[in-house]
């Protein structure tokens, strides 16, 4: 008796179980990456010309030359798109800021931070001084607060939450001012030294005065 012939394995079966993406899947991934990048670039370009509130999703799609429906495959709203840009940039900057704490003089970390901003000056000029400036600062403070919660306060005299607000605001506003200046007005080293003096002198400095007893009105005034 002749045995039942084995079914020939189709090439598609092999491809489907090989663990490697099909070429069509790779093409879709590449298109998705191009669309995502085009949408980010489009929003940044529009922010140079108008405020964030004046920009619509259709404006972004037209600028990016991306179909309207494609936008919502990537983001639920223009706010979510802005968040994606801001979070990526601030997360990277916060990593550089953390390096400040790992140096003896803090100056090396400030240099790294300023060098990164200088190398991406146009982008940071848009993020800090464009229509999204307020949202950018809010996200910066949010991420800085998350980092600070896992760390020991820099000193005893300044409440940790207030110290985070002061440091984040000081750095953000200094960088915003810097990238608004002519490119050759102040170099990386100057701004790094400036931030070092501001932060170390105002926020990281030890308190030479006697501790204030908040329960004693005479100490407060």
Where do the domains of the chain lie, and which CATH numbers do they carry?
Answer: 26-76 (1.10.10), 78-205 (1.10.357)
Across 17-31, 83-97, 165-179, 180-194, least confident range: 17-31
Residue 65, sorted as left (phi over 0), alpha (psi -120 to 50) or beta, turns out to be left
Would you say residue 212 has pLDDT above 60? no
Residue 177: what pLDDT? 96
Is 204 or 26 the better-scoring residue by pLDDT?
204
Would you say residue 213 has pLDDT above 60? no
What is the rounded CA–CA span in Å between residue 162 and residue 156?
A: 12
| pLDDT tens digit sequence for 11-53 | 433 334 444 444 555 666 888 889 999 999 999 889 888 888 8
What is the rounded CA–CA span in Å between residue 179 and residue 125?
A: 6
Would you say residue 1 has pLDDT above 70? no
Helices 160-180 & 133-149, crossing angle to 10 degrees? Answer: 140
Contacts of 167 (CB under 8 A, 6+ apart): 144, 199, 203
Do the Cβ atoms of 61 and 68 come closer than 8 Å? yes
- Return the half-sphere exposure (C-beta side, CA atoms, 13 A cut-off) of residue 206: 2
Across 6-15, 128-137, 170-179, least confident range: 6-15
What is the rounded CA–CA span in Å between residue 137 and residue 144?
A: 10
Q: How many residues does the chain have?
A: 221
Would you say residue 114 has pLDDT above 90? yes
| pLDDT tens digit sequence for 115-152 | 989 988 888 888 888 877 888 888 888 888 887 777 77
Q: Which of 121, 132, 115, 140 lies closest to 44, judged by CA?
A: 132
| pLDDT tens digit sequence for 42-96 | 998 898 888 888 999 999 999 999 999 999 999 999 988 988 888 888 888 777 7
Contacts of 43 (CB under 8 A, 6+ apart): 55, 60, 63, 78, 81, 82, 85
Residue 85: what pLDDT? 85
Per DSSP, the residues of 130-199 read STTHHHHHHHHHHHHHHHHHTS--S-SSS-HHHHHHHHHHHHHHHHHHHHHS-TTTS-HHHHHHHHHHHH
- The percentage of residues in the chain with a pLDDT greater than 70, rounded to a whole number, is 74
For residues 205-217, b (16+ Cβ closer than 10 Å) or e, as one string?
Answer: eeeeeeeeeeeee
Do the Cβ atoms of 128 and 176 come closer than 8 Å? yes
């Amino acid at each position: 008796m002749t045995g039942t012939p084995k079914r020939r394995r189709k090439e598609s079966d092999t491809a489907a179980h090989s663990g490697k993406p099909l070429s069509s899947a790779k093409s879709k991934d590449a298109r998705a990456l191009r669309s995502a990048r085009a949408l980010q670039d489009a929003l940044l370009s529009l922010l140079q010309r108008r405020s964030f509130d004046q920009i619509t999703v259709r404006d972004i799609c037209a600028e990016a030359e991306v179909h309207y429906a494609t936008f919502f495959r990537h983001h639920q709203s223009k706010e979510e798109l802005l968040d994606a840009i801001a979070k990526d940039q601030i997360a990277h900057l916060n990593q550089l800021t953390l390096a400040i704490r790992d140096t003896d003089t803090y100056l090396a970390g400030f240099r790294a931070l300023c060098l990164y901003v200088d190398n991406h000056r146009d982008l940071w000029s848009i993020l800090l001084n464009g229509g999204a400036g307020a949202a950018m600062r809010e996200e910066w403070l949010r991420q800085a607060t998350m980092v600070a919660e896992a760390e020991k306060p820099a000193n005893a005299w300044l409440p940790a939450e207030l110290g985070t607000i002061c440091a984040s605001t000081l750095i953000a506003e200094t960088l915003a001012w810097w990238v608004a200046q002519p490119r050759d007005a102040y170099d990386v080293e100057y701004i790094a030294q400036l931030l070092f003096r501001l932060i170390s002198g105002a926020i990281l400095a030890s308190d030479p005065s006697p501790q204030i007893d908040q329960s004693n009105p005479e100490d407060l005034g």
